Amino acid sequence: MEHRTYSYTSRVPEDHFHFTIAFPELFRRRVMAVSQSTRTFSAKRKKKAWSQRSTVKSHMANAALPQTLAVRFQDFQKQLPGGETSMDNLLDALRTTKTDFKRLPGFDPNVDEDEYHRAQQCIDCDEVFPRVYIGDGRSRLKKQFCASRLTAKNKEYLLRIGITHVLNAAEGKAFGMVNTDSNYYKDTNVKYLGLQIKDRLSMDISQYFYTAASFIQDACASGGRVFVHCVQGVSRSATCVIAYLMIKKAMLAKDAIRTVRLSREIGPNEGFLRQLAHLDNQLRRQRM
């Protein structure tokens, strides 16, 4: 190949210089330099990757992961006798359990007076477990004179049946919520806990399971009585009480549901049932 030689002269008068460039040779050197740089970079990346893998393996071998994570991983691997609890299992427990008729707490069935009967129509409350009550549905007959009242706001009635703690599982001002707070009961000795739970399939109610369970347990352990409510006393409040029975009374989910269902018509939504099933599997593994 014929090499062409070019000469360049600076335009600065006192600084004339010449240099010669052979284009094919310059191109070859640049290609070799880039190739060498690429190989060096690739080798460094591989060395770093292998170093990181070795570090991770070393940590795992030396049990460097947090102990709680290791325990949870082992619990997850445990096989449960009878298989995993599913939402369908809990739905079946709801459907096959019939609610027994129970008289309203705090009322004497032998009193036969119109005002007395009318007062009962404005109350929705059932004792579902010793010292644990669920309620706050709209009035049972939805009469005009009491349709706007909620049992949770009837402080006179709550005090009559010995309520010392109130758990509002639907605290809030929006539709489908109950607008009470600790200030509402400040003229009484009632202890209050408000949870802003919406009755939706996508709602993460599990984040409140242990908080609700501890509050209910404290009420019962102190010799008091706790009234757990939402708007209808069917889904949110029932789910909190079921979680309490599972966590504090070591009941299986299906047994806790049947216990509450025997005393009150309840119906947690499917999203809540799915989370109760997950809690049941967790607790069963922990108790193995």
Alpha-carbon distance values, 186 to 167, 192, 245 (Å): 15, 9, 29
Residues noted as catalytic: 230
- Which strand ranges, in their side-by-side order, compose the sheet holding 125-129? 125-129, 132-135, 226-229, 165-168, 191-194
Half-sphere exposure of 65 (CA within 13 A, CB side): 11
Q: Is the dihedral of CA 158, 162, 166, 167 positive or negative?
A: negative
Which string of DSSP letters, residue by residue, matches 29-63? Answer: HHHHHHHHHHHHHHHHHHHHHHHHHHHHHHHHHTT
Q: Which residues pair with 193 in a beta bridge?
A: 167
Q: How far apart are alpha carbons 96 and 93 in whole angstroms?
A: 5
Pairing of strands 132-135, 125-129: antiparallel
Q: How far apart are alpha carbons 156 and 167 in whole angstroms?
A: 17
Q: How far apart are alpha carbons 287 and 174 in whole angstroms?
A: 40
